[in-house]
Structure formats: structure tokens, C-alpha cells
Structure 1
Amino acid sequence: MSAQSPAEADAPTSSNFWELVRQKKWRQSLEKIQTDLSNLPILRFFLSSVSARLTALMTLATAVMMVILIVSVTTHVSNGIFQKRLNIVLQDASLRAQSLQSAFDSTVVDSVNGVQDAAYTLISDQRDASAGAGGVGAMLLKDPNETRPLAINEIIDPEQRALITKNLRRAVEQKGGIHWQSVSLKNSQEEKTPGIVVGSRVLLPLVGSYEVYIVYSLAYEQQTVHTVNQVLIFGTVVLLALITVLIAAVSYSILTPARRAAKAARKVSAGNLNIQLPVRGKDELAQLSQALNDMSSYLREQIKDYEELSTLQQRFVSDVSHELRTPLATIRMATDLLYDERDELSPTNARSVTILHRQVDRFDKMLADLIEISRIDASVAQLSLSDTNLTNLVSEVLESNRSLAEKMGVKVELKSFGDTIAQLDQTRVTRIAQNLLVNAIEFAEGKPVEVTVAGCHTAVAFQVRDHGPGMSDEVAQHVFDRFYRADPSRKRTTGGTGLGLAISAEDAALHSGLLTVLSCPLEGSAFTLLLPRHAGQEITDLPQQVENQDLIAARGRWAKEHPEDIILSEELDDTSLELHHLQTDVNSLETDISNEEDSLKQMSDDLPLKVSDDASTQLSPRISPDDSVISIQQRIENLQAEEDQKIDSESEGAV
């Protein structure tokens, strides 16, 4: 088994929920649940629709209120029916007890058997008579406190005997009168129904005190309550359905302007500013539609102004760059003549000529960069493709910069993997390699620089990895911007216009390739150029040799202590390079400004003052009051002092 790399150890695992719980990764487990729930279609629908959420919320609130209402009504109806039924049962039981006592008092018997027969007859009659009031049974039990020696057999129903509890018998024995208790009965289908047991005492001839218990069923009342509940539940379901449809229709109608505004905002984000929303009424949604209309008109005006300004700027750079070539050629010829005769000049003049010669070379390189960027802006740059061994090309660039690396004390190591032959424009790829290598040597701070060239099935890659100060992600996002420098005060040995990486990125795009950077503070940076092996071929894989797992692991460690410097994805593993196959429909995004000039709406005069001020100030560059103009003489003195320092350092190195 292969050892696990640090990057793999730090990378988030794609384990399931229970594995994360077993590993006691509570935060990751909760995020896993959240991710799984958010992927459900029903939740995605609710999260993407305000109307659906509003309808669900209102329906839920209505359902809760209806449930509370049903419970309240059912409870009130049940209590009312039970109380009414209880009064009827108690009145009937009282009449039965009085009738039974009167019957026993009028009965003339001279033996216990006669009392037994009379008791059977009278209890049976009372059971039948109470059936009209819901009676389902009657029982005669001996009073435990009776001390007479004579007694008759108790008249009981074995199935109903368990309904008479000790508490009920104690109340009848000690307090007298009529007492009742709620019980649960079973009907012929063995279904439980509510019932009431009513007990009282009677005096029998010869045998003394006995207890009479009459059982009443509340099955009819229970059926009534059940019917009421069914009606309420059915009505609630129908009402909820109607309310849901009504709320959905109303919310959909009310939020129609908001949906139009969202659709218009998506069009604006895609570059289509030719939108005009209908404005009806004066409410908040109408104000939103009007604001979007004003914003689109304002953006069209601003884009038109910026395009004109950009065109003027590009034309100015192009014209100035081309116009400067002729005088620069003359100056260069004169400088070369003076530089060739510098040995015959005085030391001061010879030093000035040397400075002049170097600055003219620098000026020539700057002018070449400006001309190249103007060609790119004018979309006239073309490729001259040929089968080229990228390893040999990079090796030549490395040899041409060997003296610079030795001067900076930087060791450059070249590694090559696989087949690196591809269809390339040698001039442009050489320029990319030159820019990346020079920048790496300059920022390496004396540490080694690793140059890797690798090939895979559909692509070839070239990477320059240094171990210098590195960059935060905020800086790395702008390294390919024109004229951008992360540290303007940093002393540079080679100089430059700030266009090198921008031109390199454009050259990579012309090849349908990709130029990326991965960096970590104090750990260095890795610039990677990925090019298709054949012109027009889609890149589907990436050489493993340029993945920089050590740098990815370093970024993970740095992000724990400095989260503001590193942007790590929570769902994807952090990789040094992501492959994107972009298919942009240019025709769907472009608008014909010249044909829309008559249809453009004039910007409203009542726009906020801040917006108007910003629009007026963005059209022309502003010079900071801290800027100052340095005289030509002062510039020459500064350059001469810098060159003197370089010459002295070279002399010390030679000694």
C-alpha cells in the first residue's frame, strides 16, 4: 500500500453520514445531512420559489389553527354531550333505585329463598326497564358491612363484575346515596365503548343491606361525537385545499412582477441590457420594476461611454506605440554607436552611455509589450503552429536565463515526463516560458526553482515552481491583470511594464489553453501552462506531475490560521488546476450598440446624487494630489545611482 500524502490527509473525505458520526466529525455530519436534504427535488423546488414557500407557510398556519379549532370544538361537544347524558343516567338510576327499594319494601316473604327469588325477579325487571335509557346490565352485591347471619346469593354478570372498582364500592358503602364512575365497555364486536356505572344501597327483607349497580352504555353518544369529528375533519381538508389553491393563486399573481424582475436581472447579469419591465401601480414591486428599468438604461449609457473610452485608449496606445518605433530606432542606432565607443570616453560619460544603452533596451522591450497588447486588443493576433518539443523549447529558455539565475543565486532544475511534442506557436510559448521563468528567479529569494514539463493524452503542461514568499489568494486573483503589481515598492532587477503575465495569459488563450497560478504565503507559487496537444482538441486530462499536492497541503495548513488569505472550497478538493471547457455563445451576449442608440432610454434626472457623481468621475482618470512631476535631470541622477550600485555589486562579485 502507498503512503498517504499530506494533501490526502488534509482533504475532506466524501464519507457518508454514519462514518462521519463514528469519526466524531459532528460539523461534517451536519453539513452532510444539509447537503443531502438540499439535493431533494421537493426542497430544491421550495428553496427556489417564494410562492411555494409562502403557500406552504400559510397552509401550515391555517392547518395548525384548524387543528386547534377541531380539538376545541370536539372537546366542547364531547363534554356537553357527556354531561347531558350523565344527568339523564343519574336521574334514571335514582328512579330505578327508588323503584327497587319500594318493591322490596312491599314484598312479603318468610324465608331466604323467597327473598332470593324476589331479588332475581326485581333485578331482571330493572335491567330490562333501564334499557330504554341505555342500560346494559344490573347487579346486586352484598354490603360488606352487613352483620346479619342470613344472606342471599349475589346477582352479578361475570363480564361486568370487573367494572365495579374498590373506590366506587367504598363510596357507596361509606357515604350512601348514588355514586357513579366512567368505565370502558366492550360491545358484541369486542370494540371498546365508553360507559357509566351507577351504584346505590337498598334494604332487603330478612337479609339486610345490599348494593345495586346499574351499567349504562354511551355508544350512541360516542358515535355522535365520531360523526361530528368526521364532518369537521372532512370540512377542514376541503377548506385547506381551497385555501391552498387560493393562496397559491394570489401569491403567484402578486409575485409576478418579482419573477419578471428576477428574470430581467438574470438577463442583465448575462449581458443583455435591452430590457423594459411593465410598471403597474405605485407599490414596492412597481418601484422595483422601475428601478430595474432605470438601472438597465443607466448601465447601457455607461457601457457605451466605457466602450468609447476603451476604444480611444486602445487606439491611443496602438498609435503611440507604433509612432515611437521610428524615433526609438534612431535613438537606438545613436546609442549603439556611443556604446561601441565607450572605451574612448571619460569614465563619467562612459557610465552615462552604459546607463543610456540599458534603458533604451528596457524601453524597447516595453514598447514591444505595448505593441503586442494592442494587437491582442485589436483581435489581429494570429498563431503560427508547428510540431514542437516543449521540453527542448523550455530548455533553451532556461539556458538563455542561466546567467540571471547564477547572478541571483538561484538553482533551476528541469524535469520532463512523457511525450511533450505538441502543435505550438514557438514564439508565443517561448515568451510565456521567459516571463514565468524570469519572475520565478526574481522572486525565489535564492531558493531553488523547479521547472516541470509533462505530457498526457490530450495536453502538455509546463510549470514553474518557486519557494519564495508566495501570495495570498487576493493577490493571486490579480496577477494576470494588466499593469498589476502586488508590491509596487518592491525593487525589481529586470524591470517591466506589468504586462508580461497578462500577455502570457492571452497567448495561452490563443492556443485554447490555460495559464493558472497556485500559491501559498511563505511556501512559494506554482504557475502552470496547460496547452492542447493538437490545435482545436479538447483537454480532458491533466498530467499528474503538475498537481502540486505539497502546495495544496500547505494551503490547507495556512488556511487554518489565516482564513482571510486562502479560499478553500468546502465541497471540492483543492487542486492546483481545474479544467473548464467553456462554450460561450458570443452572439447571444453581444448587442449592436449602433442600432440601439435611438431606442436607448435617457437616464432619469432624479437618480441619486451619489450615482450621478460616480458616473461623472469615472469617465476621466483623476490624479492624486500626492503625485509630483520629477524633472528629467532628477530622473537621470536616479538612474545613474541605480546603475552605479549594480556596477559596484558586479565588481564585488567578480572580485
Structure 2
Amino acid sequence: MRRLTRLWRRSIQARVVTSTIVLSALVIALTGWALLRDVAGGLADSRRVAAISEAKSGFDYAQTQLDASVETEPATQSQALTQMVDSLTSSRGAKRTYELVLEGPLLTGTGEVPIRSSAAIEAGSLPADLDRAVRSKPGTYWRYSDLALLGSSDTHPSVVVGSQLRAPGTGDTYALFYLFSMEDQQETLDLVRRALLLGGLAMVLMVGGVAWLVSRQVLDPVRLARRIAERYASGNLEQRMHVSGEDDIARLSSSFNQMAASLQSQIRRLENLSRLQQRFVSDVSHELRTPLTTVQMASEVLYDARERFDPQTARSAELLKGELDRFESLLSDLLDLSRFDAGAAKLELDTIDLSQVARSGADDPMLARKGIDVALIGVDEPAIVEADIRRIDRIVRNLLTNAAKYSGSPRIEIEVAQNDGCVSLAVRDFGVGLSGDENLRVFDRFWRADPARTQGGTGLGLAISREDAALHGGTLQAWGRPGEGSEFVLTIPKPEGTAKFPAITSVFA
């Protein structure tokens, strides 16, 4: 059942063919039912009209025979009626198409009424309402009925026509019934039913085959396009669809090939621009190193001698030293990013304890100067990972620096947790927090949540931290809500671990 469900959900061709077969079968069944009903009604009406006409002729003949009889004794009259029944059934055509049932004389009391018939008809087979109607008053009445013969379990569809006869000699009344078989009509109806069933089945199969063929002609190019699109998604942009003809499918294939060529051209252009940009950043960063070192050495000389300068010159020396330090930090970040982009960043792995890293981060003098209370959670047990201590320490210090500078929170929590597969370190503040869009963009390069809150940052710290985490095979994630604070979770896999999920789940997630 699951396979059928999956086939129905994933295959357009299966849905099209199945829907076409079901709908065509429904239409053919309704059409066949209406046609069969009309044929059955026509055959029944035709047989009924002919039966009533023939029965009336027989009633007139029987009444004429009774009128011509001069016998008044019941026994003699009964014998004459029996002969009349035999005469009616043995004459009037070589092939008899009816049977006769004669009841009478009819009594006014509840006594048994004699019944004579031309065939072994099961007692009580005559329709009860027809029998009552004929006995109650003169006239010709008819009904459709299924009659049963003695010794047979089958019933035979028939038209029963009845009328009263009156014997003038005795005044007795009799009920005479003509039973016309409808077996020929039933055989005709069965033949029509079989023909409709076989024809409808053949029509459904033919429509299903046509639907399968047409859907295949339409879907085969679509499947080819899907396979080529999957190859494009995997990075293989050289594939092209085969174009044959000038129909809509061929035009779709041409458009698809043009789109692929355009994408390939745009991607190549962007790759070239990216390489040029990376090379430019790398070259500029390296070229600036030498003059920056020279200028920085001169600024340090001025900074060390600032006490001998006048106040304005001394302040200028301090500002120059601070801005050069900031410029050196920005240059170092740009060099790190260029290494990440070029795939040249390397790890110097060592066994480190993230709990110790968390304790070291909590002792940062900057947090004490800001008057921020730091709470350590889960650092009592070692949390051992194989990592580059320089990069891990840079990640933690970036997170703490951002929380101290930009969050406005009086308290910061540093939590360490671990499971069988990974170790997580979370830094949470209780300040301004992050909105939904900021949660997604906080790791973008040079992006700031609120430029009014910046305090000299470059906007590259979190971007570099995420690259450092990815270089370790880990993750760095951020959550937050406005006014409730934010939380950053660093996750590093253990050397022997297999789990890839964070050991810490943020309260904002």
C-alpha cells in the first residue's frame, strides 16, 4: 500500500492514467446503464402491448364459447371450460407463446376455487393484486411477474393478463389469465448487457492505453528536463536537452538550454569577479602590511613620547595609535577572510578543554570594566575537543566582546554542555536582543544590526567566527528576541563522536 501511495504521489503519469480510466469507466457505466434501461423498457413495453392485444382476442373467443354453450349443469359446464382451455392452448398457432390459468367458478364465500392451468405452474405464482382485481370486477388487467413452475427453482419473467368470464347458463363467473413468457426479451436484454459490458471494458482499456501513450509523450521530455536540472543543481552545467521538432516541447527544451547557457555564463562571470575580488583583498592586505608596520613603529615612538608634547599633540598621538591598532585588526580580519575564501585556512589542532576556555573568557578585564556580571554554567566537568586553540579563543572572545559592547546587558551567561557526539559553548545576554531578520543576517560580512550602537567594530567578527567554527566541522548559531536578549551557541564535534546535533538548544529556538 505504501508503494502505491508513493507511486500516486510521485508519478504524474500514474495519476493521469488512473484518473482517465476511472472517469471514462464512470462515464461508460452511466451511459451503458441508461442505454440498457431504455432497451429493457422498450422490450417490455413492446411485449406488453402485444400480450394485451392477444389476450383480449382470447378473452373474446372464450366468452363467445361460453355464450354458445346451452349447458346449465355445473359439471357439464366445467367439462366444457376444460375443453375450452385445451382448445385455446392447442390451437391458435403452431408455437404457443403463452399459458392459461382458469379459476372458477368464483365463489362469494371463502371456499376453495377450482384452478385449471395449461402448465405445471407453482401455486400462488399469480400476482395477488392482479388476482384480486380480476375477481372483484370486470375488465382487463395486467402485471409483470416472475412465475415459478413445479419442480423448478428458476423463475421466468412473464406478462400476466387477466379478465372475468361469465357463463350465461348458470350465471357463474370465472377468472381467465394469460401468461406470456418474456424469455426471448430477457435473452435479448442479456445479449445487449454482455455487449455493453465487453464494449465498455474494451473502451476503458483503449482510453487507458491512449492516456498512457499521450502522457508518456508529454512527460518524457519533462523527466529529461528534471534529470538535467538535478545535474545542474549538482554543479554540472554542461548538460543540454535534445531539441527535436518545433512544437511546445521543443520550444521548452530550447528555452531550457538558453537558460542553462545564461546561468553558466553568469556563474562564470561571478566566479571571475569573486576571484578578482579575493585576489584584490589579499593583495591589498599583504601590500598594506609593510607600510602599516612602518607607520605603526613611528606611531609607537610618538605614543611613548607623548608626555613631552603639549596636550593637543599628545592627544593626537593617542588617537593615531588607537586608529592604527584598529586598522591593523581590520587588515588581519581581511587576511583571514581571504584565506577562508581561497580555501587556504589551516588548523593547528590540539586537545583543549572548552570549560577552561569559558573560564578564561569570563576573566576578560573588559567585562570587569563594563561592570558586567558573568555566570558560568556547566564548567565543572572537562569538555575535551580536538581544535585550534587560537581560533576557538577568538570565537569566544568575539562573542563576549559583542555581548559587552552592543547588548546593553548587565549580565552574561556562559554555558558548556556535551553529549556523546559534540560539545557546545553558549554565550547568552539579556539585553536588546535580535529580531527575526537580524537572526539570519547577524553573520553577514560588514553587517550591523543598529549602526547607532556601533563602537568602532568592523562588522567582520561574527563572520570570521562562523568560518572558524565551520573549519572545525562545527556550527555557530544565533537566536534572540527583541528586549529578551540573544544567545550564540558554538558546537564542536568530538573526535570519536558521530552525533551532529547541538548539545545545547537555545531557549529562543
Q: What is the TM-score with the length of structure 1 in the denominator?
A: 0.70
Maintained 8 Å contact 1:112/1:152 = no
Match of 1:378 in 2: 342
Match of 1:266 in 2: 230
Distance in 1 of aligned mates of 2:301 and 2:97: 132
AA aligned to 1:96 is: G
Distance in 2 of aligned mates of 1:172 and 1:142: 11
AA aligned to 1:507 is: D
SS at match of 2:467: helix
Q: Is 1:302 equivalent to 2:266 in the alignment?
A: yes
**Which ranges in structure 1 are unaligned for 5 or more consecutive residues?**
1-38, 553-655
SS at match of 2:453: coil
Q: 1:508 is matched with which residue: 462, 469, 472? A: 469
AA aligned to 2:498 is: I
Cα deviations by residue, 1:358-405 (Å, 9 ceiling, x for unpaired): 2222111111100111111222211111111111122112212xx433
In structure 2, relative to structure 1, the CA distance for the partners of 1:475 and 1:139 (3 Å cut) is: farther
Match of 1:428 in 2: 391
Cα deviations by residue, 1:464-494 (Å, 9 ceiling, x for unpaired): 122333334433223222223333x23223x
In structure 2, relative to structure 1, the CA distance for the partners of 1:419 and 1:123 (3 Å cut) is: farther
Distance in 2 of aligned mates of 1:221 and 1:515: 85
SS at match of 1:200: strand
What is the CA-CA distance between 1:280 and the residue it aligns to?
2.0
In structure 2, relative to structure 1, the CA distance for the partners of 1:124 and 1:438 (3 Å cut) is: farther
Cα deviations by residue, 1:581-603 (Å, 9 ceiling, x for unpaired): xxxxxxxxxxxxxxxxxxxxxxx
Cα deviations by residue, 1:387-446 (Å, 9 ceiling, x for unpaired): 11111122112212xx43344443221112654011111001111111122223334322
Q: Is 1:94 equivalent to 2:52 in the alignment?
A: no
What is the CA-CA distance between 1:95 and the residue it aligns to?
2.8
SS at match of 1:477: helix
Match of 1:464 in 2: 427
**Which ranges in structure 2 are unaligned for 5 or more consecutive residues?**
none
SS at match of 1:214: strand
Cα deviations by residue, 1:182-224 (Å, 9 ceiling, x for unpaired): 2344466645553322111211230333332233342442233
AA aligned to 2:324 is: V
AA aligned to 1:442 is: K
Q: Is 1:74 equivalent to 2:32 in the alignment?
A: no
Cα deviations by residue, 1:554-602 (Å, 9 ceiling, x for unpaired): xxxxxxxxxxxxxxxxxxxxxxxxxxxxxxxxxxxxxxxxxxxxxxxxx
Maintained 8 Å contact 1:172/1:179 = no
Q: What is the TM-score with the length of structure 2 in the denominator?
A: 0.88
Match of 1:520 in 2: 481
Q: 2:199 is matched with which residue: 235, 241, 252? A: 235
Match of 1:551 in 2: 508
Maintained 8 Å contact 2:104/2:175 = yes
State the aligned residue count.
Answer: 501
Cα deviations by residue, 1:218-245 (Å, 9 ceiling, x for unpaired): 2442233123212211221122112212
In structure 2, relative to structure 1, the CA distance for the partners of 1:128 and 1:388 (3 Å cut) is: farther
Cα deviations by residue, 1:115-140 (Å, 9 ceiling, x for unpaired): 34444554466567799555355142
The alignment's C-alpha RMSD in Å is 3.0
What is the CA-CA distance between 1:540 and the residue it aligns to?
1.4
**Max radius of gyration: which structure?**
2
Maintained 8 Å contact 1:168/1:179 = no
SS at match of 1:454: strand
Q: 2:46 is matched with which residue: 58, 80, 84? A: 84
Match of 2:493 in 1: 532
Maintained 8 Å contact 2:299/2:320 = yes
Maintained 8 Å contact 1:184/1:194 = yes
Q: 1:153 is matched with which residue: 100, 113, 116? A: 113
SS at match of 1:278: coil
**1:177-192 alignment, distance < 5 Å:** 177-186=139-148, 190-191=153-154
Maintained 8 Å contact 2:134/2:175 = no
Maintained 8 Å contact 1:77/1:225 = yes
Distance in 2 of aligned mates of 1:423 and 1:479: 27
**1:13-52 alignment, distance < 5 Å:** 40-52=2-14
Maintained 8 Å contact 2:85/2:100 = no
Match of 2:66 in 1: 104
What is the CA-CA distance between 1:74 and the residue it aligns to?
1.0
SS at match of 1:470: coil
More divergent stretch after superposition (390-399 vs 87-96): 87-96
Maintained 8 Å contact 2:493/2:500 = no
SS at match of 1:282: coil
Distance in 2 of aligned mates of 1:462 and 1:281: 62
More divergent stretch after superposition (509-518 vs 285-294): 509-518
Q: 1:311 is matched with which residue: 263, 270, 275? A: 275
Distance in 2 of aligned mates of 1:293 and 1:152: 96
Match of 1:449 in 2: 412
SS at match of 2:115: coil
Distance in 1 of aligned mates of 2:190 and 2:382: 84
Maintained 8 Å contact 1:172/1:199 = no
**1:165-184 alignment, distance < 5 Å:** 165-166=128-129, 169-170=132-133, 173-174=136-137, 176-184=138-146
Cα deviations by residue, 1:274-299 (Å, 9 ceiling, x for unpaired): 12222222222211111111111112
Maintained 8 Å contact 1:127/1:138 = no
Distance in 1 of aligned mates of 2:68 and 2:190: 45
Q: Is 1:196 equivalent to 2:154 in the alignment?
A: no
AA aligned to 1:196 is: V
Identity score, percent = 31
In structure 2, relative to structure 1, the CA distance for the partners of 1:386 and 1:106 (3 Å cut) is: same
What is the CA-CA distance between 1:334 and the residue it aligns to?
2.1
SS at match of 1:490: helix
Distance in 2 of aligned mates of 1:366 and 1:152: 124
In structure 2, relative to structure 1, the CA distance for the partners of 1:433 and 1:406 (3 Å cut) is: same
Distance in 1 of aligned mates of 2:265 and 2:112: 112
Maintained 8 Å contact 1:409/1:446 = no
Match of 1:614 in 2: none
Distance in 2 of aligned mates of 1:529 and 1:273: 36
Q: 1:138 is matched with which residue: 93, 101, 114? A: 101
Maintained 8 Å contact 1:416/1:453 = yes
What is the CA-CA distance between 1:163 and the residue it aligns to?
3.9
What is the CA-CA distance between 1:80 and the residue it aligns to?
2.1
What is the CA-CA distance between 1:539 and the residue it aligns to?
3.2
